[in-house]
Amino acid sequence: MKNVSEFTNFKNFYEKLHSNIKAHYNKEINDLYKRLNLKKKLKVFYSLMGVFIAIAVALLITVIVLYKKEGFSFVIVFLALAMFAFGGLAYLMFFFADKYKERFNITVAKMLNKRVIYKEAFALLDEQFSYDEEYPKQYRDTLNEVTVVELKKLIRPILFKLKADLETIGDEEKITLSPSHDAYFVNMDIKVEVQKNRNNSPVYKFLKTTLLKIDTKNLGDKGFAFAAAFENSKLIKEYNDLFKSFRLQKVKLESDAFNKTFNAYTNDEVKLRIMYTPLAMENMVKLHQNSKSVQKISNLVMISDGSAIYFVFTADMGFMEINW
């Protein structure tokens, strides 16, 4: 594995990926526009909007004239009727526009191949990264490397902290980070109750939760157990309960900024210090600041049992959303 001196800025990465994916599907999107006749419907919509604006201006002039001739009471009645009619027409227009937009988005979602997007994204992150497009087809029903039991165990502390329920589990995906290190990840949806409405019924928010597993068996004796979490000592204690046999102890390194940001635990302080060099600590703090500025990623935890490193985190549903 290489020592990364520069990490990818999320905003720049997202904009580049967004542009590449839109370019990749440009023909299909244009064909869809033609098939749904959206361009013509949009022209009609904008034309009607122009008519509505003209009517609004005419109403304003009429109100001024009537105020001078008929008095204030007549103007109020006239204005109320006009606004009722105007509002009703506007509502119908926007209702049908939303329906067409929803239909378009559903069709686009069915058309997109997420594996094409994964392949583009990982290649953009690093030319060494290789996404295995065939792997999910082989192991979709078995979750070979990251078993369902293992997965549920590793996300349990986050579910407990957020008082959330696991809603759906996606396919397991595989990437090769380097010739000697494979990685596997699974995306899940979790449901969190955020508040009660006026009828005292629960209102839910849906978050994406991801488990990423990097195989480190090839490290041999260089592998060791450690755990770390961004600014969340309570969450890391929950995870330490899963790794009691390793007897992880909290370690403070030389960088106060790193210690403030990261809660690090390990069963081998020497190996942890070799891994977290001053440069590595500095880059971790920068990476944290970058992810925090996005305000989408939270509850990030790293766990290693010596043979694999697990990353668990949550993200808003709108994270990395493609705007067509």
pLDDT, tens only, 117-134: 888 888 888 888 888 888
User: What are the tens digits of pLDDT across the range 61-115?
Assistant: 666 666 656 656 655 666 666 666 666 666 666 666 667 666 766 676 677 778 8
Domain boundary among 63, 80, 111: 111
Q: How many domains does the chain have?
A: 2
Residue 18 covered by a domain: no
Q: Say if residue 251's pLDDT is above 80.
A: yes
Residues 104 and 134 in one domain: no
Nearest of 220, 221, 208, 227 to residue 309 by alpha carbon: 227
Please report whether residue 13 resides in a domain: no
Q: Lowest-pLDDT range, 78-87, 120-129, 168-177, 190-199?
A: 78-87
- Residues 150, 67, single domain; the answer is no
Domain coverage including residue 178: 129-316
Q: Tell me what pLDDT residue 174 has.
A: 87
What does the pLDDT read at residue 307? Answer: 85
CB 118 within 8 A of CB 130: no
What is the average pLDDT across 276-296?
A: 79
Same domain, 225 and 78: no
Do 139 and 95 belong together in one domain? Answer: no
Q: State the pLDDT at residue 66.
A: 61
What is the mean predicted confidence (pLDDT) over 218-223? Answer: 86
- Same domain membership, residue 226 and residue 290: yes
pLDDT band, residue 139 (cuts 50/70/90): very low
**Average per-residue pLDDT in the chain?**
75
281 in a structural domain: yes
Residues 151, 298, single domain; the answer is yes
Domain boundary among 81, 111, 141: 111
| Same-domain check for residues 155 and 55 | no
Question: Looking at the domain assignment, is residue 32 inside a domain?
Answer: yes
- Do residue 90 and residue 145 come from a single domain? no
